Amino acid sequence: MSASETASFTDPVFLANYGLNRATVLEYFQHPLNPFRTKAKSSNDLLVEQQTSIGFIMQNGIGMRPGPMSLTQAEEEFSGALARMTGEQYELLTVQDPEGSINSPLFTIRHVYRSSPTKVTALGIYYVLEGVIYKSPSARSLMKASVTRTTQGLIDACDALKKCARYSPTTGYYWDFESSAKRILEEETETDIFDDFQRRTKTARTARRVLDNRPAGERSQDEEEGSKAKEKMNNILLRLKASIATKP
């Protein structure tokens, strides 16, 4: 089952029942709903069917070695069991401090195809951080992201520099950083003033809408009297204009 590099998986029920440490993380990764695990039956699945896991080996031992065992010993025995099998496998990578590793919040799991006890081909890397499983990004995606960031940085630098370029018929092209910086500061100041004006206007309009909550078309007494006075004045002006037009 394929999953994108930005996907993740977590199962709160498993974490609440069994916890998460180096003895249980591989079983957690083999969760049936984990989108990162392979469709094919892995060597880990076969070992689970045989009741062979790191936690089981710690308690009961394996083969001719009885338990209980330490975490380090159980991991070595489990790795040996995987090495005797072929096919797709999931390996829990070791850490520098095995004494405190059982309580570490970060685990690294490598997906490999084993064709012999000594020959493996890496298929993927996964991280389990505080109960959440992530897929390690591929080298292609890392390079793509790095190139994108670099290209965008160059574009921004070119946009900033082209504002400083000047040309003189006597000296040719030259850079004027001081004037350009001053002009940019003035433009930013003008933009801030314009934005502040728009913000104040919007606030004033909103306040008017809030304060003037009358139904549409309704007028106050002062507004009605002003409208009537304006109408009377218009009528007087119309009569004067008509009388002037009729005079010889």
Which domains does the chain possess? 8-136 (3.10.450.580)
Q: Are strands 165-168 and 87-92 parallel, antiparallel or unpaired?
A: unpaired
Phi-psi region of 86 (alpha: psi -120 to 50; beta: other; left: phi over 0): beta
- At 221 the pLDDT is 67
Query: What band does 16 get if pLDDT is binned at 50, 70 and 90?
Result: very high
pLDDT in tens, 24-37: 999 999 999 999 99
Average pLDDT over residues 153-170: 79
Q: For the chain, what is the mean pLDDT?
A: 78
- At 211 the pLDDT is 44
Helix segments in the chain, DSSP class H: 12-18, 25-29, 43-49, 54-60, 71-83, 139-162, 177-211, 221-246
236 or 188: which leads in pLDDT: 236
Query: What band does 9 get if pLDDT is binned at 50, 70 and 90?
Result: very high
**The model's pTM:** 0.55
Tokens in use for 130? 């505080």
Least confident of 73-77, 97-101, 236-240, 242-246: 97-101
Tell me if 180 sits within 8 A of 160, measured CB to CB.
Answer: no
Residue type for 153, please? G
